[in-house]
Structures are given as C-alpha cells and as structure tokens.
Structure 1
Amino acid sequence: MRKISSTKTSIKSPHRSMKYVIVSYFIYLASCFMGWTTRTKFHKTKEFEEWDKSGKNYIYAIWHNQQAFLLYPYRGQRICVLISLSKDGEYIARVLPKFKMKAVRGSTSKGGANALRNLIDLSQAGYHPMITPDGPRGPIYKVQQGVIYLALKTGLPIVPVGAGLSNKFTVRSWDKMRIPLPFGKCALVYGNMIHVSKEDDKAQIKLKLELELNAATLKAEQLVS
C-alpha cells in the first residue's frame, strides 16, 4: 500500500533574500516594543469566555487594516494566521514563529485551496485560525467567502474582533493600514460569536459578520479616544 504523506502546514516560501531575514527581525523588535509600551485591554463577551474556558476551538476574524498590532497581544497562543504569498506577506510569515504562531501561506487568488486544507488540519490539531476577511486586496470592510467556507468545513464559530489604537499612523494603502505608535492605548473588543450552518443564507452571514466587525471596531475606537 502506498504511504500517504502528511499535509504540510504552510506553502514553501519563494523569497530567500537576506533582506527578508533582516527586515522581519526589525518588525519583530518593533512589535515587541509597541507591545511593551502600549496598554492593552481585552473586552470579551460572556459567550466567548465560556466557550474558551471549555477548551473549544474557534476562528478569529479581524479587518485587514487592524492586524499590525495583533502579534504581541496574542503571542504564545495556539493561533495559525492566513498570510498571502506576496512579498509583503513574507515578512509577517517570518515574524509569526517568533511569537509562537503558525503561518499558513495562501489567499483567495493564489494557493487558496492548499491554505484552506492546512487551516482545517491545524484547527483539528487545536489551533485557532485567524483570518482577515477583507484581505488581501479588498474591497475594504467587505467580507469575502473564505472565512464562511472555513467555518462550514470546520464547524467552528467565528469570533469578530475589533481593534482600537489611541496612537497610530495610517498608511496610504487600499485598506488604510493602521500602524501602532508607542506609549498609547489599545482596546480589543470581541463581537458576538457567529455560528454557521449549511442551512444559513451565506449572504446574510457575510453581512452579519461585517456588522459585528464594524460595531466591535467602533466600540474599540471609542474606548481609546
């Protein structure tokens, strides 16, 4: 009988330049510095706390422009993050292991099927997938199908998270990426968990997730203002 090889947890990176090693290390140091100097508070729902306390798994969802500060607050947790195969994604993919997280390479346009299989495998191994549902190319604040499909395949609920930063720099990019600055405050607000079934209207689930993410983001921004 032919032996079936085990599924890899990431797509092999084509980027081997020393530049990625050096820049990713500086991103790691900067992330640690921002984390050390930022007062971060989690605002979780009672449902999530009970679900998490029971040891059950779930999927994190956060808007693409809020992901820059998430590495430090979620360090050491069993999290696997979907990262695009772009050159910019390579930097983050190299930083994640330094925070004890796993990178899964792929996106809706490239490597998506393999990435989905890896996310499913890791979720079954106890990891929490973290998805930016409007990434990697937008449109901004519009949920794409991937996170809904992942929730259906795994049976895991989606946990919307909104991040607010009092000190930040906004990049001129499609998503208006928010880069944290030191000595500020951060609020991480959890929205209502979303459970997805085959009978659900997928368009309604996407809209519900968008509303939950926007509401959590608004509350987070109000808490740090």
Structure 2
Amino acid sequence: MIRRKQWAARAAGYGLHAYISGVMRTTRFAPLPGEQRPWERTDGSFIALTWHGQQMLSVAALRGAPRTSVLVSLHFDGSVIATALARAGYGTIRGSGTQTRAKIRGKCGIPAFLAMRQALETGTNVLMTADVPKVARVAGKGAVQLARATGRPIFLFAAVTSARIDLDNWDKASLVLPFGRGCVLWSEALTVASDADAAEIDAVSHRITMGLDDLHAEAHRRLRSGS
C-alpha cells in the first residue's frame, strides 16, 4: 500500500510539473521597469513567502534564483509537490508547522526548522507558505522565528495570472490556467532582530499578513489595468 501511494504521488508530481511548465510557457509575464528580485538586491540567502493557496506560480517568481529549497508537508499532496519541485530543479525539506505542541513531533516541525536553518546558513534560499496551518491568509510565526534564528531577510511575493479558477476551499486557492497574463511582485526585505521578543514577532507576523494581502491586491489590479 505504501509503495502504491509513493508511485501515485510520483506520477501525480510528474503531471503537476508538466502542467505548470505548460502554464509557464503560455503565460506572458510582463517585466516591471526597474524591478529587482531579492537575489539581485541582497547578499546571501533569503526566505521567500507567499500564501498557501497562491503557490502554484512560485516557480515563476523564483525563475533565475540561486539554489532554493522548499518546505513541503508530509502528506500525500506534499509528496506530489515535492516530486514536481524536484523535476523543476528545487530542493525540498519535508515537514510543516502546527498550532498545537502535541502535534509538532508528528509533523516533523523541529527537524524541518533545523534543516531550513542549515540551508539558509549554507547559502540556500528557503521558500515557505505563510499561513497558519488550516487558517487561510493569516501569517504564522514560523518564518519570523527562522529569520530571527538565522539573521536572513524575509521577502514576500505575489505571483498571479489573469487565467485562473479561484476555488472555495480552506486556503482560497487559485488554479492557474494557460494562455493568460502574469504578474510577479516582490516586497522590500523584512528583517527580524536576533533578540526580538514575543511582541516584536507578533508585529512582524502582522506585517506579513498585511503585506501579502497588499501585494496580491496590487498584482491583480495591474492585471486588470494591463499595466
């Protein structure tokens, strides 16, 4: 049964990679004048964040980026995403956050955090989704804690396309479609002091929530206006 699930996840991952590659080939991403991506304006590695339901076009946002690993869950869909990302040339770190201490061991939260810290400290960028687990578009504290532990900056991004289906599921996901116009926007760097206290961590998490909402709203506005 386990082998059958592994085979199914690999097959689905190959299909997902092929689909996203097709969307990338048929979507026109207009360059933004003067726009610099994080790896063009910072030395060393960084943490990239977007909403869970808006992650399908992460490969568009990170196109041309140096070595990058992505945090993906231990669930079946995480295995699918891990296979697709490996096909696209990205590394993966398996594990996820949780809202309860009782579940942190089962979700491999601590090993994943240590693996992400090591990746950042050895020059590999880390891509994460920002949401509190199963709570859409409310940023958790995981990325903020990671930034505090490593001293690496956080960059938020929105990668959207005009051709999409917006789903009514827990993470308000968008299924991107081919033959549309695309827009990628990055934020300025967010930094977290190594001695940041709980109040400061909460404040950065709130800034992430507001920043991601603003970036996605602006990206959709640009697509609607054609700018």
Deviations 1:22-75 (A, max 9, x none): 1111111101100000012455986x6586345322110101111012235535
Q: TM-score, normalised by structure 2?
A: 0.84
**Distance in 2 of aligned mates of 1:15 and 1:114:** 26
Q: CA RMSD of the aligned region, Å?
A: 2.3
Q: TM-score, normalised by structure 1?
A: 0.85
| 1:133 aligned residue | 130
Runs of 4+ residues over 2 Å off in structure 1? 13-17, 41-46, 48-56, 71-77
Matches within 5 A, 1:1-225: 17-41=6-30, 43=32, 49=37, 52-53=40-41, 55-75=43-63, 77=65, 78-109=67-98, 110-134=107-131, 137-197=133-193, 198-199=195-196, 201-225=200-224
**Distance in 1 of aligned mates of 2:188 and 2:42:** 17
**Distance in 2 of aligned mates of 1:211 and 1:221:** 16
Q: Determine what percentage of the aligned residue pairs are the same residue.
A: 24
CA contact (8 A) 1:166 1:185 kept: yes
What SS does structure 1 have at the residue aligned with 2:178? coil
What SS does structure 1 have at the residue aligned with 2:56? helix
Residues 90 and 155 (structure 1), Cα distance of their counterparts in 2 relative to 1, 3 Å cut: same
Matched to 1:144, the amino acid is G
What SS does structure 2 have at the residue aligned with 1:71? helix
**Distance in 1 of aligned mates of 2:163 and 2:80:** 23
Deviations 1:86-116 (A, max 9, x none): 1111100111111111110101131110001
Residues 218 and 83 (structure 1), Cα distance of their counterparts in 2 relative to 1, 3 Å cut: same
Gaps of 5+ in 2: 99-106
